[in-house]
Amino acid sequence: DGGITQSPKYLFRKEGQNVTLSCEQNLNHDAMYWYRQDPGQGLRLIYYSQIVNDFQKGDIAEGYSVSREKKESFPLTVTSAQKNPTAFYLCASTGPAEPQHFGDGTRLSIL
Amino acid sequence: QQQVKQSPQSLIVQKGGISIINCAYENTAFDYFPWYQQFPGKGPALLIAIRPDVSEKKEGRFTISFNKSAKQFSLHIMDSQPGDSATYFCAASIEYNTDKLIFGTGTRLQVFP
C-alpha cells in the first residue's frame, strides 16, 4: 500500500539537543511538506520541498532544518534554537493536481 | 488576506443530528477548498473538497455548501454518528499551487449517543 510513514511516533528531546524526525513516502510524489500542529492553532507550515535537493521555508521555519536528498525522504531536524518544540509534527506529500496526503505524525516532547 | 477563519472551535451534537462547521476566507484567488478529518493521534485525511464553480457538493452524509459572494463555505454532517467524532479542518488554496494550502484552526466535534 502506498503512503507516508513518519517515525518515531513519540520523541523526547533534552535541552540543547537536536532531534530528527523521519518522513518517507512511496507515493512517487514530488512535493513534500512539514507542518506543526498545536492545540487551537491548526496546521502551520514549517518547510516544503517541490523537488529533490530544493526546499523553501514556510511560515515558521526558525529553529528547524530539512534536507531532500531523495525523492522519497524529507527529514526534519528540530534544533536547539527552537525554544518551544513541544508539538505534533505532520509530514505530507502531494502530486500534480492531488490533495495533500498526511502521515500519522510524530509527537515531540521536552524532557 | 491569507487567513481562513473557522468556527466553532468545538461542537457537541447528539447522534442523528446535523453538525455544521463554517469557514470564511478573504483571498478571492482561492479556488480549491478541501475539508480534512483528523482522529486523535492520526494525520488529517481528505474528507471532501469543492471548487467555486459549484455551490454544493455531497458525498454520503457529508455536504459542502459554498457561497462565493460571501466568501464562505461550510461542512454539513447529516445524521451525525459517534464515529464522526474527530477534529475537522477547512483549508483553501490556489489550484495547482498546493504549497500555499492555508488551514483553518480546526473544530473538535463530539457526537454523543
> Going along B1-113, which residue ranges are E strands?
4-7, 10-14, 19-25, 33-38, 45-50, 56-59, 62-67, 72-77, 86-92, 102-103, 107-112
Look at residue B95 and tell me whether its pLDDT is greater than 70. Answer: no
Q: Tell me: the pLDDT tens digits for A40-95?
A: 778 999 999 999 999 999 999 999 999 999 999 999 999 988 889 999 999 999 98
User: Are the beta carbons of B41 and A33 separated by less than 8 Å?
Assistant: no
Give the residue with greater pLDDT, A61 vs B28. Answer: A61
Q: What is the mean pLDDT of residues B87-102?
A: 80
User: Are the beta carbons of B43 and A90 separated by less than 8 Å?
Assistant: yes
pLDDT of residue B98: 58
| Preceding amide of A8 cis, omega within 30 | yes
Q: Tell me: the pLDDT tens digits for A8-33?
A: 999 998 888 999 999 999 999 999 99
Look at residue B1 and tell me whether its pLDDT is greater than 80. Answer: no
Which chain A residues are Cβ-neighbours of B49 within 8 angstroms? 99
Q: How close A18 gets to chain B, by Cα (Å)?
A: 23
Look at residue B96 and tell me whether its pLDDT is greater than 80. Answer: no
* Strands A76-78 and B86-92, bridge-based pairing: unpaired
pLDDT of residue A77: 97
Q: What is the mean pLDDT of residues B41-45?
A: 93
The dihedral sign for the CA sequence A68, A69, A70, A76: negative
Mutate to test the interface with A, among B101, B102, B105 (most CBs of A within 10 A): B101
Q: CB contact, 8 Å: A41 with chain B?
A: yes
* CB proximity list for B8: less than 8 A, separation 6 or greater: B21, B22, B107
DSSP 8-state code for residue A68: -
Q: How close A22 gets to chain B, by Cα (Å)?
A: 15
CB nearest B46 (choices: A40, A99, A104): A99
Which chain A residues are Cβ-neighbours of B44 within 8 angstroms? 43, 90, 102
Burial class (CB in 10 A: 0-12, 13-18, 19+), A90: buried
Q: How far apart are the C-alpha atoms of B35 and B44, rounded to whole Å?
A: 9
First to last CA, chain B: 40
Q: For residue A101, what is the enclosing H or E element?
A: strand A101-102
